[in-house]
């Protein structure tokens, strides 16, 4: 009994040491947090415009070899055969092409004749964009952990606008591709930094709500992109309007704060106190809370020196972080691979491109995070991810089992694919939230940046699975299903983070791990009572 009391006393002491200064002194959620979270989530919209830009910059269009035109009217002949699209009638290579411009008046395909032996440049451009997102995630993750969240974020937003504008007017293809790569680097920086800043301003149950709802504007951004493209059918006009919308984010400098958690974690206590006092005023906190904020300088003074520098390599060298890092990076890699793989497996939809894209964003990008929010709050992060991934994986495997062409319109396979994509849509926001809570503040940004980088690598590799369809229609979807289930199993050994404080340092994370073990031992000791009732 005495040992149990001592353990409880030590556990309470550790909780006091790792108390949450943001939540305790300025409130878990108020007008200050709401403003920051809304602004950070809106930054997800440009990330949709950049990552999915190929939908409207380089859409598929019919074309034929203009050298074979014999009619003086120049009427579009709608030829799709190889010998009438890439070669002249005499067998020589074609030197000029005529495009169907009934939907788009100009695209990068028609601008620079990206067809036939130059067709690969369209895919190469999109690959460069995904590679840029990957580089931006990791580079700005490191910068944000060293120089704070706000400054790198604002530099990334400024570069995003400038590079997007430059790519609108550039007359050379290879310069355009280079600018799109750099644009994606900046966009990757905004993605990882804005999410971490959003998560570090809220506390308690609101951390779950804000972090998941942060994903919703991505789907809205897809809808906006489709709307802009519908009215502006020339790719330069479309890109210019998107650039103007990106430029509005530069004004965020006057409305977003630096992360007080980061300031405290690296020993910048005086700056953290200024931010927290502004937050307390905005949230109408009491005078006692403001005095407590001013008293933080003495409390955190002894912790400043140890917190100033934590190298990114700590993710892989520290024994308590190594296992978590491996699991998180693997989960993100498989999530990116399987999510984009499933979407590509759906094939091309008929009908209007604008309607299809808008519906996929508004109906696919919005309900998923909302459902994830409800499930995460009830069952926790870990169980939500495991169950949603299990459903997605099983549904994908069943698609490979159900025979093709037996049922009308293959409705069982289509239904199973919807279930699988929905499961992935539910798990993805939860994985985002869960990963940020597993890493301590001093390495959180570089941890999320590295994880997002792995997701980009997975997304870049996802087309490889479509190539296996030549050996059997069931092979790519079976492989994706197996990988989805594998990612669910990897989550199992990780700890639950629901209702836990965000650790600032690695030492606090280790204390929390030890506290969990002691709680489990105490719970086991309470239940392990002999049948006779005697101890």
Mean pLDDT value of segment 244-251: 92
Asked if residue 349 has pLDDT above 60, the reply is no
138 and 210 in contact (C-beta within 8 Å)?
no
Local confidence band at 4 (pLDDT 50, 70, 90 cut-offs): very low
Asked if residue 483 has pLDDT above 90, the reply is yes
Same fold, 27-66+95-256 and 310-517: yes
pTM of the model: 0.73
- Write the CATH number of the domain with boundaries 310-517: 1.20.1250.20
Mean pLDDT value of segment 442-463: 79
Lowest mean pLDDT among 141-145, 287-291, 348-352, 515-519: 348-352
**Homologous superfamily of 27-66+95-256:** MFS general substrate transporter like domains (1.20.1250.20)
Distances (CA, A) of 212 to 68, 69, 313, 388: 55, 55, 28, 15
Asked if residue 148 has pLDDT above 80, the reply is yes
Asked if residue 8 has pLDDT above 50, the reply is no
Give the whole-angstrom CA distance, residue 107 versus residue 490.
43
Give the whole-angstrom CA distance, residue 35 versus residue 481.
40
Of the chain, the end-to-end C-alpha distance in Å amounts to 12
Average pLDDT, the chain: 78
Query: Positive or negative, the Cα torsion across 203, 208, 210, 215?
Result: positive
- Higher pLDDT pick, 376 / 154: 154
Asked if residue 521 has pLDDT above 50, the reply is yes
Tokens of 360: 């996929």
Asked if residue 84 has pLDDT above 60, the reply is no
Local confidence band at 525 (pLDDT 50, 70, 90 cut-offs): low
SS3 content of the chain, % helix, strand, coil (to 5): 75, 0, 25
Asked if residue 387 has pLDDT above 60, the reply is yes
The domain segmentation of the chain, as residue ranges, is 27-66+95-256, 310-517
Local confidence band at 249 (pLDDT 50, 70, 90 cut-offs): very high
Burial class (CB in 10 A: 0-12, 13-18, 19+), 272: buried
Per the listing, tokens 């301590």 go with 440
pLDDT computed for residue 72 by the predictor? 37
Mean pLDDT is highest, among 71-80, 82-91, 372-381, 386-395, for 386-395
Asked if residue 69 has pLDDT above 70, the reply is no
Within 253-313, where are the H helices?
260-265, 269-282, 287-294, 296-301, 304-307
Within 380-438, where are the H helices?
381-401, 411-438
């Amino acid at each position: 009994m005495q040992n149990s009391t001592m353990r409880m006393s030590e556990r309470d002491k550790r909780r006091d040491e790792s108390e949450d200064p943001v939540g305790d002194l300025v409130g878990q959620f108020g007008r200050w947090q709401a403003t920051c979270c809304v602004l950070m989530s809106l930054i997800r919209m440009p990330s949709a415009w950049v990552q999915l830009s190929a939908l409207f910059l380089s859409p598929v269009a019919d074309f034929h070899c203009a050298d074979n035109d014999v009619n003086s009217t120049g009427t579009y002949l709608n030829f799709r055969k190889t010998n009438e699209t890439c070669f002249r009638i005499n067998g020589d290579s074609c030197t000029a092409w005529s495009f169907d411009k009934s939907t788009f008046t100009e695209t990068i395909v028609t601008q620079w004749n990206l067809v036939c032996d130059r067709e690969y440049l369209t895919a190469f451009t999109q690959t460069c964009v995904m590679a840029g997102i990957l580089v931006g995630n990791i580079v700005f993750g490191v910068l944000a952990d060293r120089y704070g969240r706000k400054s790198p974020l604002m530099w990334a937003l400024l570069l995003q606008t400038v590079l997007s504008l430059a790519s609108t007017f550039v007359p050379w293809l290879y310069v355009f591709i280079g600018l799109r790569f750099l644009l994606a680097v900046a966009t990757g920086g905004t993605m990882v930094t804005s999410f971490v800043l959003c998560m570090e301003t809220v506390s308690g149950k609101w951390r779950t709500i804000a972090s998941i709802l942060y994903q919703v504007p991505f789907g809205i951004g897809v809808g906006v992109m489709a709307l802009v493209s519908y009215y502006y059918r020339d790719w330069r006009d479309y890109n210019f309007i998107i650039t103007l919308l990106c430029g509005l984010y530069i004004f965020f400098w006057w409305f977003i704060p630096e992360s007080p958690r980061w300031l405290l974690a690296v020993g910048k206590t005086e700056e953290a106190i200024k931010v927290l006092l502004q937050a307390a005023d905005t949230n109408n906190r009491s005078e006692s809370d403001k005095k407590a904020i001013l008293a933080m300088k003495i409390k955190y003074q002894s912790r400043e020196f140890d917190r100033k520098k934590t190298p990114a390599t700590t993710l892989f060298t520290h024994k308590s972080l190594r296992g978590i890092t491996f699991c998180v990076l693997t989960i993100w890699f498989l999530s990116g691979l399987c999510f984009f793989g499933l979407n590509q497996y759906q094939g091309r939809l008929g009908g209007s491109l604008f309607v299809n894209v808008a519906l996929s964003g508004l109906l696919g990008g919005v309900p998923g995070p909302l459902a994830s929010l409800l499930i995460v709050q009830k069952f926790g992060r870990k169980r939500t991810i495991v169950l949603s991934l299990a459903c997605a994986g099983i549904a994908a495997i069943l698609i490979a089992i159900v025979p093709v062409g037996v049922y009308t319109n293959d409705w069982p396979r289509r239904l199973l694919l919807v279930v699988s994509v929905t499961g992935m849509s539910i798990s993805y926001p939860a994985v985002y939230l869960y990963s940020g809570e597993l890493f301590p503040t001093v390495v959180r940004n570089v941890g999320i940046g590295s994880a997002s980088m792995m997701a980009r690598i997975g997304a870049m590799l996802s087309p490889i699975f479509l190539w296996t369809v030549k050996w059997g229609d069931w092979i790519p979807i079976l492989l994706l299903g197996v990988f989805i289930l594998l990612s669910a199993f990897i989550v199992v050994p990780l700890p639950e983070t629901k209702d836990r404080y965000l650790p600032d340092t690695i030492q606090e994370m280790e204390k929390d791990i030890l506290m969990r073990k002691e709680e489990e031992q105490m719970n086991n000791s309470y239940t392990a009572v002999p049948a006779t009732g005697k101890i």
